[in-house]
Amino acid sequence: MADQTASHSYAPEYPWWLQPIATVVILSAFALYSIWVAFQARGYVAPYLSPFYSPPVRVGAIPISPAWWVVWVPAGFRATCYYYRKAYYRSFFRDPVSCMIGESRRRYAGETAFPFILNNLHRFLLYLAIIVLAFLWRDTVAAFFFDGRFGVHLGSLVFLVNVVLLSGYTVGCHAFRHMVGGNLDCYSCARGGRVRYRLWQWVNPFNHQHAPWAWASLFSVAAADVYVRLLMAGVISDPKLF
Amino acid sequence: MTDATLHVFRGDKTGGDLRTYQVPVTEGMVVLDAIHYIQQHEDSTLACRWNCKAAKCGSCSAEVNGKPRLMCKTRLDQFMGSPVTVRPLAAFPLIKDLVTDVSWNYRVNQEIPPFTPARDDTGPWRMYPEDVDRMFEFRRCIECFLCQDVCHVLREHDGTSRYYGPRFMVRIAGLEMHPKDTVSRAHLLRGRGGIGFCNITKCCEEVCPEEIHITDNAIIPLKERVADEYFDPWRALLRAFRGRREPRGT
């Protein structure tokens, strides 16, 4: 029989490598798709503005795709997100690839050294992501107006679902939870403490489901952009629902 | 009555191996019952630490089929007749068989500044539910050290000199969030406590028998408090003008 230091035999309900591989495939595919989208330099078909291009920013005569001025904000927000950190540390860096699975890499600095120490700046990307989210809500409202008249098309609902999922993901952010009330020690004695306690309580359910919100909103962003691109290419029409 | 096959680690710090035992299974039997059966009927020299047998003392921690668990809370019937392997916690020095030396944890505990109310605040204190409800969860910790065992920093990267481990992040969170505590432990967390070594992969949460949300409710809020102190120039500016105030929110 093996000694105490032998490899472990803990087997979860499904193969331990399944989740890391799925994470690598999905995140890599999304990153590649985002880069491709940003290089397209256009993402608008009335009244829909691709979420990768919102807000539409142009800086002087610099000839780059407007997406590059914006896309780094949500990308950085997700890259420093506590949930995605868990996902990519496990999947891309195998630190650890799964609980109780031995690690081959001996050098480990965690988040104490460059580059991962930059994850401590997550809150600043949250602030910027909230601004971007406000523009996405504006775009969603615009997606319900066709030639100045209110209407509901399939694309309107795609945009609505996307912005709701993005809002759920943003509200559930750990840094947001900290900001609204988690940073207080004494709710009963702080100015506005009880309101902040209620806010903190309201945010908690979103925070506890941060991972599902993170994945769902990732897919919805891609779906909203794909919808816009299919409309731009004339592959699909935008059916009017009512 | 069927038999269960147990492979139990036998040995000490000089080495050891797994030995196989057959144990008759009764209804509701847990792994600790099987270990006791072995002690009583097959080998009385088998060493195992236990106390309450009710999942409240945290003594009977071991790695059952490779996963850190309380032996008294792990039913044999969940393994559906497959052999069960029982090893000691790998993150701590072995004493004998299933008993490890967890005294490092108690030394770490002594390094943490205890609850410190203001000198002139002698009470009696009126505590409001909203101020203390976060801490009830942390108070559930039974110090079984399963989270310490599964933590890859302590286990795989010899992190005991760099990181306190999840158990003590929970303890520090309980102190830091206490409305009457006046000491900031942010400096300790960033330095000797080594919170930056935690990369929030949540294995500690997966093994906690008390289902404490160690990462979401203790470690990440502490990381955010360390970010308040060391990675947020805006807050540093506010502190410079308004002065440091402890506890937060007063």
B207 touching chain A per CB within 8 A? yes
In this predicted structure, what is the pLDDT of residue A9?
42
A191 in any annotated domain? yes
In this predicted structure, what is the pLDDT of residue B250?
41
ipTM: 0.91
Rounded CA-CA distance A188/B250 in Å is 9
Among residues 102-131 of chain A, which lie with CB inside 8 Å of chain B? 102-103, 106, 108-112, 116-117, 120-123
Closest residue, chain B, to A124 (C-alpha): B232
A5 in any annotated domain? no
In this predicted structure, what is the pLDDT of residue B248?
61
Residue B65's identity, in one-letter code, is N
Query: What is the pLDDT tens value at each position of chain B, 250 positions in all?
Result: 689 999 999 999 999 999 999 999 999 999 999 999 999 999 999 999 999 999 999 999 999 999 999 999 999 999 988 999 999 999 999 999 999 999 999 999 999 999 999 999 888 898 899 999 999 999 999 999 999 999 999 999 988 999 999 999 999 999 999 999 999 999 999 999 999 999 999 999 999 999 999 999 999 999 999 999 999 988 888 888 876 554 465 4
Q: Where in chain B is the domain with CATH 3.10.20.30?
A: 3-99
- Contacts for B17-23 with beta carbons within 8 Å, 24 or more apart? B17/A1, B17/A2, B17/A3, B18/A1, B18/A2, B18/B85, B18/B87, B19/A1, B20/A1, B20/B83
Architecture per CATH, B103-242:
Orthogonal Bundle (1.10)
Q: How many folded domains does chain A comprise?
A: 1
Rounded CA-CA distance A207/A200 in Å is 10
Q: Which of B178, B230, B88, B7 is nearest to A117 (CA)?
A: B230
**Token pair of A115 as six digits:** 């580059």
A137 in any annotated domain? yes
Closest residue, chain A, to B213 (C-alpha): A208
CB-nearest to B90 from A4, A182, A183 is A4
Architecture per CATH, B3-99:
Roll (3.10)
Query: From the CB of residue B186, how many other CB atoms can be counted at a distance below 10 Å?
Result: 19
B104 touching chain A per CB within 8 A? no
Closest residue, chain B, to A181 (C-alpha): B249
pLDDT, tens only, A107-160? 899 999 999 999 999 999 999 999 999 999 999 999 999 999 999 999 999 999
DSSP assignment string, A159-193: HHHHHHHHHHHHHT-HHHHIIIIIT-S-TTTSTTH
A241 in any annotated domain? no
Domain that residue A198 falls in = 18-232
- Check the CA dihedral A181-A184-A185-A188 and report its sign: negative
Residue A236 φ then ψ, to 5°: -130, 160
In this predicted structure, what is the pLDDT of residue A104?
75
A211 in any annotated domain? yes
In this predicted structure, what is the pLDDT of residue B244?
58
Radius of gyration of chain B (CA): 21
A242 in any annotated domain? no
A171 in any annotated domain? yes
Q: How far is A26 from chain B (nearest CA, A)?
A: 19
Q: Where in chain B is the domain with CATH 1.10.1060.10?
A: 103-242
| Nearby residues of B240 by Cβ (< 8 Å), 6 or more positions away | none
B62 chain-A contacts, CB cut-off 8 A: none
Test the A interface: residue of B96, B128, B133, B224 with most A CBs within 10 Å: B224
What are the residue ranges in chain A where pLDDT is below 50? Answer: 1-11
Task: Note whether B130 contacts A194, CB cutoff 8 Å.
Answer: yes
A8 in any annotated domain? no
